[in-house]
């Protein structure tokens, strides 16, 4: 019998999980439940930038594994005929630091073209700035327009018969006691909602604000590894400038003062940004979790003690795009191992 699977959540984590499950189990019957769909998910607000960010480094091993798979996929797609349709591009990134000794990230071995910057490199990047950066590194990364990417993946899923249901599910137990008991597996991709849905008190928000501006002359990513969160990230259609990082701030209200601060900081790197046309402003809540990503199989009791298998996939912080495909493969592997259904050999 084909597996019957429910995915709860339709952000980048839920959508990639469904895609990868179908790769492993082409005959699976999948239904995706969500209260919001693209372009209204948390993922749609994200800068779509590949780099492990706002996520627990205690999980360095899994993050490297998940991140490498995602990086390789995104890089391949950036060179494919689908690059424009997906809004994916590869470009150089420069991370500037104010310490004499460069801080090398734990994931440096999995990216291409990684190298430390010398003083001449730094000067060539910030020669219009008076800021005193002392070290840094560069590497090849990818950016993706999530508002293009998720709809394209969604279309593929619909073409393969995946059902999408718009509804609000208050708690996991409520779902298990009802329609959820009919599924072989429930994939929990509820992001920040997992705090109440599971419930999991380790889940908390980190508020971020960004602006999208027209600045087609900017062709490289700049990130400042300093006390203030600052980045300039070209996408295929706009440039994202940011940002903020406010733990346990649940407000989605836009703080205009923060936007002014972002413009001021980014304009110190590129003075031309001060007069760039603002396309849109955004505030979002990164779904962080104490202890990092929760990705595991749990068996819960439903009505009449019926066992229901749940695979949790949440707590990705600011790295949802960065580790999405790797985590999705991990989900499919858990199903494969538990169901004893081997992945078909192509």
Report the alpha-carbon angle 231-237-243, nearest 5: 20
- The secondary structure element, H or E, covering residue 4 is strand 4-8
Q: Could you tell me the two tokens for 116? A: 């430390």
Residue 231 annotated as binding site? yes
Residue 319 annotated as binding site? yes
Q: Give me the domains of the chain, ranges plus CATH numbers.
A: 4-340 (3.40.50.720)
Q: What share of the chain is helix, strand, coil (3-state, %, to 5)?
A: 35, 30, 35
Say if CB 299 and CB 3 are below 8 A apart: no
Which pairs from 54-58 meet CB under 8 Å and 24+ separation? 54/206, 54/245, 54/286, 54/288, 54/317, 54/318, 54/319, 55/288, 55/292, 55/293, 55/316, 55/317, 55/318, 55/319, 55/323, 56/289, 56/290, 56/291, 56/292, 56/293, 56/317, 57/106, 58/291, 58/292
For residues 68 and 60, give the distance between their C-alpha atoms in angstroms, rounded to a whole number.
12
Question: Would you state the pLDDT for residue 91?
Answer: 96
Say if CB 286 and CB 229 are below 8 A apart: no
Q: Could you tell me the two tokens for 204? A: 């908390």
**Taking the mean position of all CA atoms in its chain, how far away is CA 174?**
27
Strands 163-166, 135-144: pairing kind:
unpaired
DSSP structural state of residue 261 = H
Question: Would you state the pLDDT for residue 227?
Answer: 86
Residue 293 annotated as binding site? no
Q: Tens of pLDDT along 231-277?
A: 999 998 899 999 999 999 999 999 999 999 999 999 999 999 999 99
Say if CB 47 and CB 21 are below 8 A apart: no
For residues 6 and 108, give the distance between their C-alpha atoms in angstroms, rounded to a whole number.
36
Residue 43 annotated as binding site? yes
Question: Would you state the pLDDT for residue 146?
Answer: 96
DSSP structural state of residue 344 = P
Question: Would you state the pLDDT for residue 343?
Answer: 60
Residue 286 annotated as binding site? yes
Residue 14 annotated as binding site? no
Residue 67 annotated as binding site? no
Residue 322 annotated as binding site? yes
Say if CB 74 and CB 144 are below 8 A apart: yes
Strands 29-34, 307-314: pairing kind:
unpaired
Residue 317 annotated as binding site? yes
Mean pLDDT by 10 residues, the chain (346 residues): 97 99 98 96 93 92 98 98 96 95 97 96 77 92 97 98 98 96 97 98 98 96 92 95 96 98 95 96 97 98 90 98 99 96 57
Residue 270 annotated as binding site? no
């Amino acid at each position: 019998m084909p597996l019957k699977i429910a995915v709860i959540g339709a952000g980048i984590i839920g959508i990639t999980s469904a895609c990868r499950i179908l790769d492993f189990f082409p005959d699976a019957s999948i239904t995706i439940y969500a209260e919001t769909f693209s372009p209204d998910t948390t993922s749609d607000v994200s800068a779509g930038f590949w780099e492990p960010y706002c996520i627990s480094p205690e999980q360095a091993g899994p993050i490297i594994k998940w991140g490498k798979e995602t990086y390789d996929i995104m890089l391949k797609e950036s060179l494919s005929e689908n690059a424009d349709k997906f809004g994916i591009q590869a470009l150089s990134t420069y991370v500037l630091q104010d310490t004499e000794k460069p801080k090398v990230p734990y994931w440096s071995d999995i990216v291409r073209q990684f190298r430390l910057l010398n003083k001449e490199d730094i000067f060539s990047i910030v020669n219009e700035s008076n800021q005193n950066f002392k070290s840094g590194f560069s590497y090849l990364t990818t950016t993706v327009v999530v508002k293009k990417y998720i709809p394209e993946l969604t279309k593929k899923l619909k073409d393969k018969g995946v059902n999408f249901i718009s509804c609000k599910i208050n708690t996991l137990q409520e779902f298990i006691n009802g329609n959820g008991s009919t599924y072989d597996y429930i994939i929990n991709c509820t992001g920040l909602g997992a705090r109440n849905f599971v419930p999991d008190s380790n889940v908390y928000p980190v508020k971020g604000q960004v602006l999208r501006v027209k600045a087609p002359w900017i062709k490289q990513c700049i990130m400042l590894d300093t006390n203030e969160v600052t980045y300039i990230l070209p996408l295929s259609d706009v440039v994202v400038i940011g940002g903020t990082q406010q733990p346990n701030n649940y407000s989605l209200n836009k703080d205009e003062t923060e936007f002014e601060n972002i413009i001021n900081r980014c304009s110190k790197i590129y003075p031309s940004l001060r007069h760039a046309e603002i396309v849109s402003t955004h505030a979002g809540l990164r779904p962080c979790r104490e202890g990092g990503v929760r990705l595991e199989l749990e068996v819960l009791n439903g009505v009449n003690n019926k066992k229901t298998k749940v695979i949790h996939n949440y707590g990705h912080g600011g790295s949802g795009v960065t580790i999405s495909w790797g985590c999705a493969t991990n989900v499919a592997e858990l199903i494969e191992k538990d169901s004893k259904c081997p992945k078909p050999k192509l």
